[in-house]
Structure 1
């Protein structure tokens, strides 16, 4: 490798890689890519496309969208090449000089947020579009685009022209998607930083309201990190789509996708804003400082870390705090969402099966679905709960989660990274207490959380509805609402031996229809059971299902009837906002 690098550096102009993206047939999702390496030694050069994209910890078959690969030298002579693995193309040459690579990309993976081209826009994440050669990974890159005349291009990259951008290296390029097309465009300024907001697609969104709340959110994010920023400008890309949804964070930008008619209601607006807050938190937590297993990125293989629960779940934990502090979300809305989190946590059987550290390492192979719910936890939802535990532990020690994040940013910002021992060291430094016991109980072992005691410390209680409803413990698919797609471990359906794939036919001899079965069957005693008839492998069978009920509807979080000054102060420290309720002071 040293000889290779010396050979490259000895040639003029080695420091810049050039890409040209030509949107050739947008209606067919096609683009033509030209990659130019101005210098290349004799021998083999391996061009590669990443096997995954940042922000999604799963391998993706992105190289399948590459066709019409060809290689030429500086004189335009065709060079021999071969496909050497799933995402690598090896070019052979007999003498040094310039190297030009051309290939076609098919881009219709909008939901994957890797690449999408149509007749109104193109969203181009470099990991799904632009190849790299490892010896030039640290070289400066320039990207130019040929697009329809009416299109406008934007990116978190340094702008060189209307459709021309510059990246310091390939890692910056991968972390700075390009959005080009027909958009609504807005700008605002907060704390010396420039923010841009692009809307692509028609929808029932109120762009002015969204931009107003993003401005308040941006100010809150800056305050959280003591006005220390990893960016000078930031780009929000919002897609109004047909069905797909999700978001991805980048070094100084994000893309957020929502169904086009899911913006207008208060609930939909808050969902959008929670996503925006999540991605803005990521600008520090994950993009500015990240776990050691993700530094540097290995674009061809799994990038293992036992700290994804903190990187992702810790980000999920902060998102609504930022919205509350920004005045975008009310206390009632904040507590309602927390109550929903608690309900999901308490209802997930996998909580007793897997630790958040194990879930972090295994996220690359996580199956989700029925098995995941019953035997696994999520780096997002259970990572959220572990981060809550961490927050309260730090507060009890006289510090805060905010202080921990600020310390990580100041001490472990890229190109540095942090490991589990670094996190425990900072916890001890901030509190004067050893973090070893807490770590074993909450990170290395399945979560067993004293939620009621936590809430009481904060002057709150979890209130469940008095009404009850039948709880069979199954999930139903969309098709006719009779197909079981999930069975919760420990539930009545689980004990009766039901399994995903069973198709319901009747209960107590009455034809199955989704609805209020308690009203149709009366109100059986708790120790009774009902007969369920179903098809399994095309054969009719029956099972006895224990009759169980649960609270009807979601719980809520409410202030205790009587609270102490200590509890109200703890709530204020926890949320960063004053105690909002008129409860009777305690003695």
Structure 2
């Protein structure tokens, strides 16, 4: 199989793609990927295809019929090779997309490369017709000026950037060379970057005992506007970050965070993979409940490795945990839907807010539950083992052997390392909706970390139970705390606040709420053109709060010992 990429008119953002595919059957099914790894929702990339045609080896048209949105039935009787020609519209620039303009050709092959079952495991050749002055950032093998992949899986797991603006550096750890590529407007601080990346790389490799590949590439698209996104691959990651001026200043911590997170994915999900995704099926959804391992553990360990390696200090690490706790407490879907169910439903609505109070984030819930599990392992092994040991065993005994991990496997390995019955943890917290704040506080206490809370600054949010936002000249309710004063009074998300106790609200809702704090209140709202009166009683109850962690001033010997074991690889 061979793919050729041409860019005849970059300003139109159409990439001309030619796929040469050997066939041997009278009828051949040709597929376009329906999704991409790292984003567990349907991508429907075939919607970007234009000028589609199929020719035989003589250049004559071959008959075909589209059977569904990403499948074509091709009549290949008496045909040995088909040539599929099409244009792919590449206007989106993020860490999982394909993009073309006058400055670059950036391709995630999983977005735009067709396949058949017959040649899926055959070697693939890639040719790029690009300007001579452009470099190519990639992880593919090079053979006679062409790029090669062992099979379709490797091809679609190997994004590349072709550009005249590429900059790179490299470092080596344990025999693996790591390349850091930047594309865009950026002034890298190479020395600082290499020192920090090398530090967290050493810690991660130490935790897993070895690295899965002999080279690795960070493909970093630096953009002039605010963005933050990363996607994992076996030998690389693509990261988009911006604005350019902030990447090595106030957003440098974000660059480190996303890079450490994506590197950890090299083991966790690219190797340690849910059994339902072993192998990937690009034709349809790959449902799994184990997002709390794939993304949850990675979110937790990605940041923790920055602390374990000395790249982050404790204050910086706790700030990242603060964010996760805040997201957890502000998402009331935690009362209704488990992280396992939410993982299954990423294919339904996992990356948009969706229905209020319906679901949770596999990143946030998985992260906090991974921390709890980490401390429980320390507790039940006298600080001799931790989550690092569990993940290393999963890598060596499953991922490195190409074996998928099931829920039963994970429970078995957790119970083996703790020598404790852990069914309660799975039933109540991973696959259930039992509130785990008390358990979280208990685990934080084990390592000498204090769990703090204080009312948020917004009076409406803290004491009336509504987050408010300014939309043009209007003040509107953006979220409601369940069973808060406003919720019980019948307020609705989207209500526009007009007046309180007869006084007009004009971008000063919090001030008036504070002024009338110790009084009963009458709130007038505009709801779809109708004026609604809401009566609010006096109350001192606090609703929305800010949650943050801090190290205890004095630690017991037990806390010190557990803390040291927790922060050490």
Aligned pair in 2 of structure 1 residues 403, 319: CA closer, same or farther (>3 Å)? same
Following superposition, the deviation at residue 475 of structure 1 comes to 4.6
Q: Take 2:211 and 2:74, find their aligned partners in 1: how far apart are those partners?
A: 42
RMSD of Structure 2 on Structure 1 (CA): 2.4
Identify which of 26, 29, 33 aligns with 2:10: 26
Following superposition, the deviation at residue 378 of structure 1 comes to 0.9
Q: Take 1:481 and 1:123, find their aligned partners in 2: how far apart are those partners?
A: 42
Aligned pair in 2 of structure 1 residues 244, 560: CA closer, same or farther (>3 Å)? closer
Q: Take 1:248 and 1:553, find their aligned partners in 2: how far apart are those partners?
A: 32
**Unaligned ranges ≥5, structure 2:** none
| Aligned partners of 2:32 and 2:71 also within 8 Å | yes
Is residue 489 of structure 1 aligned with residue 482 of structure 2?
yes
Identify which of 365, 368, 373 aligns with 1:390: 373
Is residue 408 of structure 1 aligned with residue 390 of structure 2?
no
Alignment of 1:169-318 (within 5 A): 169-181=151-163, 182-203=165-186, 206=189, 208-226=191-209, 228-241=210-223, 242-261=225-244, 263-264=246-247, 267-318=250-301
1:346-390 deviation per Cα after TM superposition (whole angstroms, max 9, x unaligned)? 332121211121111112113666655523111010111111121
- Higher alpha-carbon deviation: 503-512 or 284-293: 503-512
Aligned pair in 2 of structure 1 residues 98, 368: CA closer, same or farther (>3 Å)? closer
1:371-416 deviation per Cα after TM superposition (whole angstroms, max 9, x unaligned)? 5552311101011111112112222221321111111111112531
Following superposition, the deviation at residue 551 of structure 1 comes to 9.1
Corresponding residue of 2:24: 41
Q: Take 1:393 and 1:520, find their aligned partners in 2: how far apart are those partners?
A: 44
Aligned pair in 2 of structure 1 residues 473, 466: CA closer, same or farther (>3 Å)? closer
Q: Take 1:174 and 1:490, find their aligned partners in 2: how far apart are those partners?
A: 48
Aligned pair in 2 of structure 1 residues 509, 160: CA closer, same or farther (>3 Å)? farther
| Aligned partners of 2:375 and 2:446 also within 8 Å | no
- Higher alpha-carbon deviation: 506-515 or 407-416: 506-515
Aligned pair in 2 of structure 1 residues 389, 187: CA closer, same or farther (>3 Å)? same
Give the TM-score normalised by the residue count of structure 2.
Answer: 0.91
Is residue 123 of structure 1 aligned with residue 106 of structure 2?
yes
- Higher alpha-carbon deviation: 329-338 or 104-113: 104-113
Aligned pair in 2 of structure 1 residues 466, 111: CA closer, same or farther (>3 Å)? closer
Aligned pair in 2 of structure 1 residues 205, 405: CA closer, same or farther (>3 Å)? same
| Aligned partners of 1:370 and 1:487 also within 8 Å | no
Secondary structure of the 1:99 match is strand
Secondary structure of the 2:7 match is strand
Q: Take 1:468 and 1:483, find their aligned partners in 2: how far apart are those partners?
A: 17
Is residue 346 of structure 1 aligned with residue 329 of structure 2?
yes
Following superposition, the deviation at residue 485 of structure 1 comes to 3.8
Following superposition, the deviation at residue 31 of structure 1 comes to 1.0
Q: Take 1:537 and 1:467, find their aligned partners in 2: how far apart are those partners?
A: 29
Corresponding residue of 1:582: none
Secondary structure of the 1:381 match is helix
Corresponding residue of 1:539: 530
Alignment of 1:358-437 (within 5 A): 358-366=341-349, 374-398=357-381, 399-413=385-399, 415-437=402-424
1:471-513 deviation per Cα after TM superposition (whole angstroms, max 9, x unaligned)? 2322536544624443333334322322233233333333334
Following superposition, the deviation at residue 146 of structure 1 comes to 0.6
| Aligned partners of 2:454 and 2:546 also within 8 Å | yes
| Aligned partners of 2:95 and 2:238 also within 8 Å | no
Secondary structure of the 2:246 match is coil
| Aligned partners of 2:331 and 2:357 also within 8 Å | yes
1:257-286 deviation per Cα after TM superposition (whole angstroms, max 9, x unaligned)? 122246357552112211111101100000
Secondary structure of the 2:94 match is coil
Corresponding residue of 1:461: 450
Q: Take 2:421 and 2:14, find their aligned partners in 1: how far apart are those partners?
A: 56
Q: Take 2:40 and 2:353, find their aligned partners in 1: how far apart are those partners?
A: 20
Secondary structure of the 1:298 match is coil
Q: Take 2:18 and 2:404, find their aligned partners in 1: how far apart are those partners?
A: 34
| Aligned partners of 1:26 and 1:119 also within 8 Å | yes
Secondary structure of the 2:533 match is strand
Secondary structure of the 1:482 match is strand
Corresponding residue of 1:584: none
Aligned pair in 2 of structure 1 residues 113, 571: CA closer, same or farther (>3 Å)? same
Is residue 503 of structure 1 aligned with residue 501 of structure 2?
no
Aligned pair in 2 of structure 1 residues 289, 451: CA closer, same or farther (>3 Å)? closer
Q: Take 2:520 and 2:118, find their aligned partners in 1: how far apart are those partners?
A: 68
Identify which of 148, 168, 171 aligns with 2:150: 168
Aligned pair in 2 of structure 1 residues 500, 330: CA closer, same or farther (>3 Å)? same
Is residue 473 of structure 1 aligned with residue 466 of structure 2?
yes
| Aligned partners of 1:59 and 1:364 also within 8 Å | yes
| Aligned partners of 2:40 and 2:346 also within 8 Å | yes
| Aligned partners of 1:469 and 1:550 also within 8 Å | no
Corresponding residue of 2:441: 452
| Aligned partners of 1:205 and 1:263 also within 8 Å | no
| Aligned partners of 1:468 and 1:549 also within 8 Å | no
Q: Take 1:128 and 1:248, find their aligned partners in 2: how far apart are those partners?
A: 13
| Aligned partners of 1:233 and 1:252 also within 8 Å | yes
Following superposition, the deviation at residue 326 of structure 1 comes to 1.9
Secondary structure of the 1:426 match is helix
Following superposition, the deviation at residue 212 of structure 1 comes to 3.2
Following superposition, the deviation at residue 85 of structure 1 comes to 1.1
Following superposition, the deviation at residue 520 of structure 1 comes to 6.8
Following superposition, the deviation at residue 248 of structure 1 comes to 0.5
Aligned pair in 2 of structure 1 residues 467, 33: CA closer, same or farther (>3 Å)? closer
Corresponding residue of 1:62: 45
Q: Take 1:553 and 1:442, find their aligned partners in 2: how far apart are those partners?
A: 23
Is residue 71 of structure 1 aligned with residue 62 of structure 2?
no
Aligned pair in 2 of structure 1 residues 499, 520: CA closer, same or farther (>3 Å)? closer
Following superposition, the deviation at residue 563 of structure 1 comes to 1.7
Aligned pair in 2 of structure 1 residues 169, 493: CA closer, same or farther (>3 Å)? farther
